[in-house]
Chain A
């Protein structure tokens, strides 16, 4: 199984295999495959515009998010560690709420970059699984893949990593609205 988009196929059991979502399998853990994602990158001007847009959303700016990559239904957003984000003062671990906000933003960005999605989107539903505490001091990277779009709904998977382990800090699945302009 591809850990990025959860696509299941026997061919993906080998290291180096490429999933249809663009991810390359680089290692195994706990029966699941971890992949290094190669994102189809939009041309610089569009990426720059998307970055400007997302980094200027007030709440994203407040949490210090920065857009790393976007295009073709995928997005990667970073959130550097900051004291104001701490949820457990004893350990310095970031609060889950900040990670939720990061994953929600990243999922929305992935939807907006999908060629078949509309001009804007809103979250319908987001289910977040917190697998482990994030390493204090580490930047959190969220990676989202919009893996299916219907006329009304876009489906997204998101994972958040801290670079300390192959096991993500959190994973989420979401459904987003597809907003069509007046036709």
Chain B
């Protein structure tokens, strides 16, 4: 029995990273906010590099709650989209594989600590991914991973990925 020769690791990595970069670059608001995504295998970590224009309370100072909420929502959306494209990237699917983004139905944000004027990191956990609806839990932290700054739970409407119905 012969197995096909595995692809060189560099080719695999480049394909994955190019797909992720394309996914993130599509959204003007994500570029405007400066959000970045790092990948380890299929796991994504969102990064919100600190910028003075993310401040909402200059006295403390603290990050704007809305900026943190946006960061969690974007991390959840990118992670969901990523989970949809991942199997296709792994199947070696080239070309146009990026689906439409899911739509946020609701997001409940729990502010645990005030946001420090430093970089923030976030990871999303897809607790349920159905064909129509998905539930996602997402958490952001700063200096200390064990002391999250903010967490959120959201529901999302998944894009229709079925082929067009035959007329």
A residues contacting B by CB (< 8 A) are 57-63, 83-90, 94-98, 100-105, 108, 120, 122-130, 133
Contacts and interface: CB of A to CB of B under 8 A. Distances in A.
Interface of B: 26-33, 52-59, 62-67, 69-71, 73-74, 100-101, 103-111, 114
Taking each of B62, B65, B71, which has the highest tally of chain A beta carbons within 10 Å of its own beta carbon?
Answer: B65
Contact of A58 (B32, B53, B71, B109): B53
Contacts of A90: 100
Contacts of B108: 125-128
Contacts, number: 127
Chain B interface secondary structure, helix, strand, loop or mixed?
A: mixed
Nearest to A87: B29
Contacts of A98: 29, 70
A129 B26 contact: no
Taking each of A102, A122, A129, which has the highest tally of chain B beta carbons within 10 Å of its own beta carbon?
Answer: A122
Taking each of B29, B52, B103, which has the highest tally of chain A beta carbons within 10 Å of its own beta carbon?
Answer: B29
B111 A123 contact: yes
Contact of B55 (A58, A95, A120, A124): A58
Given A57-B64, A86-B28, A89-B28, A100 B106 contact: no
B79 to A, nearest CB: 14
